């Protein structure tokens, strides 16, 4: 398609959708994540289809960008439930006034989301597809092994464990794994998932810290897409959780944060992680790297001396 023909197609596309396609074309977003963002921003399924057609116009000159747009088109065609699942979770987030505190607000959100869409609430980028969710989970587990997070571990803590999608494979691998969450709805699903696993322990907490655990208890602490909600609850809470994670880690233990915030400012996040790690006596191994094919999360990996 010539540039003259492309202009009307792109001009008719809302800026928010065009931004998603631009990020996809340059490789910043996996196709499934791009589709999630398009659905969130679109007013109707037809608008997503229009955006994908515009995406082909945008990416026509670059083979790699065209390949990514092809992947986007394919996953849209193969996932007819994606629109309803993504919009359903978004509608849960928009229900009711935000009169409660941030911890209470997000606890209520995840309780409602657990009743509606289970794993979709904690991994919306999987678009409700079990195969995508399983593949994304395996990818994270593979990275944890590559980064030696699990090399010498016996006791593991996951902050914000949700439905237990990481507690379960860790417990099955033989690690004593404790998952904590503020949402009783999520924990009910996690308990169902982990019901036969003696190495899995699930606890509901108030979300204010880790005071229920003694010093030097864990070989690894994981916060997999949980920190954005902690950061949203306030700087003091984010700092408290960092201090507490450092306290409960054993010597040479690892602290893994996948996604620090949703504010779309990776430089600010990396700067804040560097400051907090230094204050808590943690050394940084990875600070904001992109390491996943199915998820656009950034990795923050720290070690206790």
Residue 135's CATH number: 3.40.50.150
The answer to whether the CB of 298 falls within 8 A of the CB of 225 is no
Q: Is residue 268 domain-resident?
A: yes
Give the DSSP H/E element, type plus range, for residue 179. strand 176-181
Same domain, 147 and 291: yes
Distance, in Å, from the CA atom of 98 to the CA atom of 74, rounded to the nearest integer, reads 38
Q: Is residue 239 domain-resident?
A: yes
Structure tokens at 205: 């907490």
List all residues 6 or more positions away from 203 whose beta carbon is below 8 Å from its beta carbon. 178, 179, 180, 181, 187, 212
pLDDT at site 96: 58
List all residues 6 or more positions away from 256 whose beta carbon is below 8 Å from its beta carbon. 144, 147, 149, 220, 221, 222, 223, 224, 299, 300, 301, 302
HSE (side-chain half, CA atoms, 13 Å) at 13: 26
Full-model pTM: 0.93
Domain end (from 59, 78, 97): 78
Structure tokens at 217: 């208890």
| CA proximity to 166, closest of 139, 146, 185 | 139
Token look-up 């999630």 returns 36
Domain span including residue 64: 3-78
Same domain, 284 and 148: yes
Number of residues assigned to the chain: 305
pLDDT at site 11: 66
Same domain, 56 and 173: no
Domain end (from 78, 98, 122): 78
Q: Is residue 214 domain-resident?
A: yes
Same domain, 73 and 134: no
Cβ atoms within 10 Å, residue 82: 24
Give the DSSP H/E element, type plus range, for residue 219. strand 218-224
Same domain, 70 and 147: no
Structure tokens at 21: 């396609």
The answer to whether the CB of 200 falls within 8 A of the CB of 172 is no
One pLDDT digit (tens) per residue for the chain, 305 residues: 444 445 455 667 899 999 999 999 999 999 999 999 999 999 999 999 999 999 998 877 689 999 999 999 999 999 999 999 999 998 887 665 666 688 998 899 899 888 886 777 789 999 999 999 999 999 999 999 999 999 988 999 999 999 999 999 999 999 999 999 999 999 999 999 999 999 999 999 999 999 999 999 999 999 999 999 999 999 899 999 999 999 999 999 999 999 999 999 999 999 999 999 999 999 999 999 999 999 999 999 999 99
Q: Is residue 93 domain-resident?
A: no
Q: Is residue 120 domain-resident?
A: no
32, 76, 139, 172, 202 from 293: Cα distances, Å: 10, 17, 8, 24, 29
pLDDT at site 59: 78
pLDDT at site 99: 61
| CA proximity to 276, closest of 240, 227, 230 | 240
């Amino acid at each position: 398609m010539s540039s003259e023909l492309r202009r009307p197609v792109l001009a008719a596309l809302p800026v928010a959708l065009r931004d998603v396609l631009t990020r996809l074309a340059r490789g910043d977003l996996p196709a499934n994540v791009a589709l999630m963002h398009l659905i969130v921003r679109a007013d109707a399924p037809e608008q997503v289809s229009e955006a994908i057609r515009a995406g082909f116009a945008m990416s026509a000159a670059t083979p790699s960008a065209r390949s990514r747009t092809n992947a986007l088109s394919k996953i849209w065609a193969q996932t007819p439930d994606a629109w309803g699942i993504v919009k359903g979770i978004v509608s849960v987030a928009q229900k009711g006034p935000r009169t409660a505190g941030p911890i209470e607000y997000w606890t209520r959100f995840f309780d409602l989301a657990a009743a509606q869409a289970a794993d979709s609430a904690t991994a919306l980028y999987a678009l409700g597809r079990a195969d995508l969710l399983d593949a994304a989970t395996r990818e994270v587990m593979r990275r944890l092994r590559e980064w030696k997070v699990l090399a010498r571990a016996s006791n593991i803590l996951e902050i914000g464990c949700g439905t237990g999608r990481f507690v379960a494979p860790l417990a099955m691998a033989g690690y004593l794994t404790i998952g904590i969450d503020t949402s009783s709805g999520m924990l009910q699903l996690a308990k169902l998932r982990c019901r036969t696993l003696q190495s899995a322990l699930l606890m509901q907490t108030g979300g204010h810290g880790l005071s229920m655990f003694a010093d030097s208890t864990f070989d690894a602490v994981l916060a997999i897409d949980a920190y954005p909600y902690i950061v949203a609850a306030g700087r003091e809470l984010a700092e408290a959780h960092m201090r507490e994670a450092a306290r409960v880690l054993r010597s040479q233990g690892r602290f893994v944060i996948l996604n620090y915030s949703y504010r779309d400012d990776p430089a600010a996040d990396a700067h804040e992680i560097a400051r907090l790690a230094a204050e808590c006596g943690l050394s940084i191994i990875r600070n904001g790297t992109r390491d996943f094919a199915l998820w656009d999360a950034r990795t923050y990996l720290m070690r206790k001396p």
